[in-house]
Amino acid sequence: MQVDVVIIGTGQAGVPLAARLAAAGRRVVIAERKALGGTCTNYGCTPTKTMVASAQAAHDARRSARLGVKAGPVRVDLAAVVDRKERIVRRWREGVGKRLHRHAPRLTLVRGHARFTGPRRVEVAGRSYEAGIVIVNVGARPAVPKVTGLERVPWLDNATIMELRRVPEHLLVLGGGYIGCEFAQMFRRFGARVTVVDRAERLLEMEEPESSAALAKAFRAEGIALATKTTADSVARSARGITLSLKGGRKVSGSHLLVAVGRRPNTDDLGADAAGIRLDAKGYIEVDERYRTSAEGVYAVGDCTPGPQFTHASWDDHRILFDLLQGHGSRTRDDRLIPITAFTDPQVARIGLTEREARARGHAPEVATMEFGEIARAVETDRTAGTLKILLDPKTERVLGASIVGAEAGELIHIFAPVMAAGLAARAMVDLEYVHPTFAEGVQSLVMSLPRYKIE
Ligand SMILES: Cc1cc2nc3c(=O)[nH]c(=O)nc-3n(C[C@H](O)[C@H](O)[C@H](O)COP(=O)(O)OP(=O)(O)OC[C@H]3O[C@@H](n4cnc5c(N)ncnc54)[C@H](O)[C@@H]3O)c2cc1C
């Protein structure tokens, strides 16, 4: 069957692209082999942040006496937490279905595994589709590390851990990245003992060392055990449940094991060869700044391409590619700022470069740091954990990067975004009024702690 556009995957880019291209008059087929809405809706952002909110409620209830409020003992009903999560996920997923169906008959949703059988020819559910444009939005799935014995223990991934209806006695978390950290703290707050094992020297090793240190301090204060700079050589069932044998001979045992060591793209069963789509060494689809793959007329967006794996990045991919396909695009994949946030407590957020990245690119940045506890609102609300850091290019006065660990850091980081995107001097952030008392005042204080803006 001949159509204008085939889209593989209903991820964060695929769905809006399908809807908008159909609305623009093209005949579109979109294929999905699992749940509508992909990772973010079903196994990523939505369910985790819903459950993080329950974990935060438990934590706040336990700590309320610090603010003079006496509450009774806290008991987490994980089944109720999971049911709430499921209701919200279902609502979002149904929303995706409705959005796609609104554009019928120009837009057709086909359920099943899609595979290239030739250049711009895709087979799904026993039918073959040919199109002038094919867009690949197949996402990624958990990477499985090479740990001896892993295939013989019942380990959990980011999807299955959110199906548990009873709090584990002791959760071992392999991987101290964003996903591992969010689950580690969530389950600690649900009442589990938690041990995080990571091969890196510190949690969230991509982030500033100050950010990692602030998060580790908060984790330790909550009783989360950290085993960093070590790897798991093997894993086996034991009387305690599951035992990890770490490099150097140390063993850690727990009742459950979460594996969160990274992601791998869903490209191994895509028929990339048949289409002439080149993959990199890790299986990611190589694209240029306009999302073009090595196969003419085939584009790739989202987590299956190299680059930061975030919903907002994939969604932005859709905007840029839509404009390019409609012939009025000026932005490309390369000229954008992608803020990031780990939804731990305190949250860890960054925009732009880390100091290490800035220096590697030849910058000699002016640097200022500040403790989150210096912010009045942080003291008043008893949310003092965290730190802030800014990097300034001394020649242009532009912000090269900023990192915030603290309450609502994921919101605060956006204060930098328009300033950086517009190429303004950081002075623009100094000459503003910030509402007192807000966490945002701390961002102004951070900028004003750079020597050039300091006032006594
Ligand atoms: C636990 C967790 C928490 C996260 N939290 C956040 C967060 O807080 N904020 C954030 O920005 N990001 C977060 N992410 C990342 C975010 O979920 C992804 O970056 C986002 O979903 C973008 O995905 P995508 O559009 O590339 O594709 P996906 O959403 O992964 O969708 C790809 C779709 O393609 C389908 N598919 C694959 N192969 C085929 C095929 N051959 N045929 C048919 N269909 C196919 C898949 O079934 C899937 O539905 C999180 C991820 C995880 C795992």
DSSP of 397-433: --EEEEEEEETTHHHHGGGHHHHHHTT--THHHHTS-
Q: 138, 179, 298, 321: which to mutate for ligand 1, most atoms within 8 A of CB? A: 138
| Mean pLDDT of the region 271-287 | 98
| Mean pLDDT of the region 121-136 | 98
- Angstrom distances, CA of residue 198 to CA of 72, 201, 403: 36, 8, 22
Q: 29, 39, 285: which to mutate for ligand 1, most atoms within 8 A of CB? A: 39
Query: Is 214 within 8 Å of 373 (Cβ atoms)?
Result: no
Residue whose CA lies nearest to ligand 1 atom number 39: 138
How many Å lie between the centroid of ligand 1 and the Cα of residue 301? 11
Taking only the tens place, the pLDDT of each residue in 62-119 is 999 999 999 899 999 999 999 999 999 999 999 999 999 999 999 999 999 999 999 9
- Tell me the residue type at 336: R
CA–CA distance, 331 with 62 (Å, rounded to integer): 48
CA–CA distance, 131 with 3 (Å, rounded to integer): 5
| Mean pLDDT of the region 119-127 | 97
Judged against a pLDDT cut of 90, whether residue 240 lies above it is answered with no
- Enter the DSSP assignment of 284: P
- Greatest alpha-carbon span in the chain: 73
Residue with tokens 């731990």: 344
**Residues sharing a CB contact under 8 Å with residue 451, sequence separation 6 or more, in sequence order:** 366, 368
Judged against a pLDDT cut of 90, whether residue 346 lies above it is answered with yes
* Ligand 1 contact via 311 beta carbon (within 6 Å): yes
| Mean pLDDT of the region 372-386 | 98
* Ligand 1 contact via 96 beta carbon (within 6 Å): no
Quick one: pLDDT at residue 329?
Answer: 80
Among this protein's residues, is 113 annotated catalytic? no
Beta bridge partners of 392: 366, 399
Taking CA 87 as the corner, what is the angle to CA 82 and CA 345, rounded to the nearest 5 degrees? 55
Instruction: Please choose, from the candidates 421, 416, 411, 410, the residue with its C-alpha nearest in 3D space to the C-alpha of residue 432.
Output: 416
Judged against a pLDDT cut of 90, whether residue 159 lies above it is answered with yes
Quick one: pLDDT at residue 399?
Answer: 98
Quick one: pLDDT at residue 330?
Answer: 84
CA–CA distance, 55 with 236 (Å, rounded to integer): 30
How many Å lie between the centroid of ligand 1 and the Cα of residue 10? 9
Quick one: pLDDT at residue 335?
Answer: 83
Taking CA 143 as the corner, what is the angle to CA 174 and CA 134, rounded to the nearest 5 degrees? 150
Residue whose CA lies nearest to ligand 1 atom number 15: 310
How many Å lie between the centroid of ligand 1 and the Cα of residue 40? 5
* Ligand 1 contact via 32 beta carbon (within 6 Å): yes
- Tell me the residue type at 248: G
Quick one: pLDDT at residue 111?
Answer: 98
Instruction: Please choose, from the candidates 187, 160, 156, the residue with its C-alpha nearest in 3D space to the C-alpha of residue 54.
Output: 187
Average pLDDT score, the chain: 97
* Ligand 1 contact via 48 beta carbon (within 6 Å): yes
Residue 152 pLDDT level (bands cut at 50, 70, 90): very high
| Atom of ligand 1 lying closest to residue 31 CA | 43
Judged against a pLDDT cut of 90, whether residue 353 lies above it is answered with yes
Q: What is the pTM of this model?
A: 0.97
Query: Is 404 within 8 Å of 370 (Cβ atoms)?
Result: no
Quick one: pLDDT at residue 118?
Answer: 98
Residue with tokens 């290019």: 393
Judged against a pLDDT cut of 90, whether residue 433 lies above it is answered with yes
| Helix locations, 228-329, DSSP H | 272-275, 311-325
Taking CA 438 as the corner, what is the angle to CA 338 and CA 346, rounded to the nearest 5 degrees? 55
Q: At residue 58, what are phi and psi to the nearest 5 degrees? A: -65, -45
Judged against a pLDDT cut of 90, whether residue 60 lies above it is answered with yes
